[in-house]
Structure 1
Amino acid sequence: MLKRILSISFFCLCTIGLVGISIAQAQQKMQIGYVDPQSILNKMPEMKAVEQRLKNFTEKKKKEFANKQKDFQQKVSEYQQKESVISETAKKKEEQRLGKLNQELQQYQGKIRQQVQQKQQELVSPLLDQIDNAVSKVADSMGLTYVINTRTSNSDVIVLYASEEAKQKYDITDQVMEQLDI
C-alpha cells in the first residue's frame, strides 16, 4: 500500500514537472510585438487628403447649421417684435412652436456631429485597413505571436514601459511604415 502511494505521488510530481516545463517552453516561444498605428496614420501621405476632405465636410455642415440657427433667431426676433400686440393664447402657441424649433435645432446639431464622426470613420477606415495588413505581414515575417497597440482609441498609453532592447526587438512601428512605403 505504501509502495502504491509513493508511486502515485512520484507519478503526480513528474506530471506536474513536465507540465511546468511545457508551459515555460510555450512562454519562451511566444513573441509579442507592439505598434503605434496613430503615428503611422499621421505619417501616411493619404492622411492629408483625408484631413482636407473631412475639413471641407465639417465646414459644409457648420454652414448648414449656421443657416438653420440664423433662421431660428430670425423667428425669435419676429416673435419678440409682435409679442406685445398678440393675445396670451397666441403667445403660448408661438412659444411652443419656437420651443419645438429650438429642440429640432439641437437635434440637428447632434445629427451633424454623428455625420462628421461617420465621415471620419469612412475616410480613415481604408487607411487603418492598410496598416492592419502591413502589421500582419511584418508580424508574420518576424514570427510574432501577438501584436498589441501602444495606445487605446482615446490615446491612453497601453505599453507603459519597454527597455531599449525590447523597443529595438518588439516595436514594429518602423517596419510597418517601411511595409507601407512611408
Structure 2
Amino acid sequence: MITMNKFRLALIAAVFTLASSSAALAQAPLKIGYTSVEYVLSQMPESKQIESDLKAYSSQLEAQLKSKYSDYQAKAEAYQKGASTMTEVVRADKEKELTGLQTSIQEFQRSADQSLQQKQQTLLKPALDKLQKTIDVVAEENGYTYVLNSDGASPVLLHGPKEGDISDLVLKKMGVTPGAAAAAKVATPAATATPVVPASTKTKTKTKK
C-alpha cells in the first residue's frame, strides 16, 4: 500500500512538472524573423569588390581558354590543308596531337569552372561571416528566436509579414543605408565561354596512289 501511494505521488508530481514546463514554454515568446541574404550582400560595400575580383578572375580564365582553342584551330586547319600530302605516319602523329589538344581544352574548361566557384566562395566567406555575426546581434537585440533565409528557388520561408523582415535592420547595424529597392544580387560571373571543339579530329582524305 505504501509503495502504491508513493507511486501515485510520484506520478502526480511528474504530471505537475510536465504541465508546468509546457505552460512555461507556451508563455515564452517565439519571434521569427527572416532576411534575404542575397539582398543584404548586394547592399554591402564588399559586394562591388567581390564582383570586380570575380570578373577579373573569370576574364583571365577565359583568355587562357581562348588561347588554347586558337592554337587548336590553327593546327587543325594546317592538318586539313596538308593531310592529303602527308604520309600515314605523319598524319597519325598530327591526329594524335590534335586529339591531345582537344582533351586538354575540355579538361581546362572543367578545371576553370571549379576554380571559379572556389574563387567565389573564398571571396564571399568574409562577407558571409560578417553577415552571420550581424544577424546574430540583431536577432538578440530584437528578441528574434529564429531567423530564416527567404532566398533560393526553394526558400526556407514561404510567407511572412513585412515586419518580420530584418534585412534592413542588419544593414543598418553594419552601417549601410538600405536601398529604396532590392539591388541586383551579387552576380556570379558567367562560366567561361566554351569553344565548340569538334568531337573528332580525324578527316577522311584520299591517299595519292
Q: TM-score, normalised by structure 1?
A: 0.81
| 1:172 maps to 2:166 | yes
SS at match of 1:181: coil
Aligned to 2:137: 137
> How far off is 1:69 after superposition?
0.6
State the secondary structure of the residue aligned to 1:159: coil
1:109-128 to 2 correspondences below 5 Å: 109-128=109-128
Residue 97 (str. 1) matches residue 91 (str. 2)? no
Distance (Å, rounded) in 1 between the aligned partners of 2:127 and 2:138: 17
Deviation of the 1:6 alpha carbon: 8.1
Aligned to 1:34: 34
Alpha-carbon distance, 1:146 to partner: 3.1
Structure 1 residue 18, shift from structure 2 partner: 3.3
* Structure 1 residues 24 and 82: CA distance shift in structure 2, 3 A: farther
Q: Residues 177, 55 of structure 1: CA spacing in aligned structure 2 closer, same or farther, 3 A cutoff?
A: same
State how 1:1-16 maps to structure 2 within 5 Å: 8=7, 11-12=10-11, 15-16=14-15
Residue by residue over 1:126-177, the C-alpha shift from the partner in whole angstroms, topping out at 9 and shown as x without a partner, is 11121111111111212333323223xx543110012x3xx41x43212111
Q: Counterparts of 1:77 and 1:24 in 2: how far apart (Å)?
A: 81
**Which of the two has greater helix per residue?**
1
CA contact (8 A) 2:139 2:147 kept: yes
Deviations 1:8-58 (Å, cap 9, x if unpaired)? 467536524532541453353444332221110011122122212221221
Residue 74 of structure 1: CA displacement? 0.8
Identity of aligned residues (%): 29
Give 1:72 deviation, angstroms. 0.9
Secondary structure of the 2:34 match is strand
What 5-or-longer segments of structure 1 have no aligned partner?
none
**2:184 matched residue in structure 1:** none
Matching residue of 2:80: 80
One-letter identity of the residue aligned with 2:38: Q
Q: What value does the CA root-mean-square deviation take over the aligned residues?
A: 2.4
Greater mean alpha carbon deviation, residues 43-52 or residues 73-82: 43-52
Paired with 2:43 and 2:148, the residues of 1 have a C-alpha distance of 19
* Whole-angstrom CA distance in 1 between matches of 2:98 and 2:23: 71
Provide the residue aligned with 1:158 in structure 2.
Answer: 156
- Aligned residue for 2:185? none
| SS, match of residue 33 in structure 1 | strand
Q: Deviations over 1:63-103 (max 9, x none)?
A: 11111110111111111122111223332332222112111
8 Å contact 2:72–2:101 — kept in the other structure? yes
Any gaps of 5 or more consecutive residues in structure 2? Answer: 177-209
Maintained 8 Å contact 2:149/2:155:
no
User: What is the rounded CA distance, in whole Å, between the counterparts of 2:148 and 2:142 in structure 1?
Assistant: 14
* TM-score where L is the length of structure 2: 0.71
1:9 to 1:98, Cα distance in 2 relative to 1, 3 A: farther
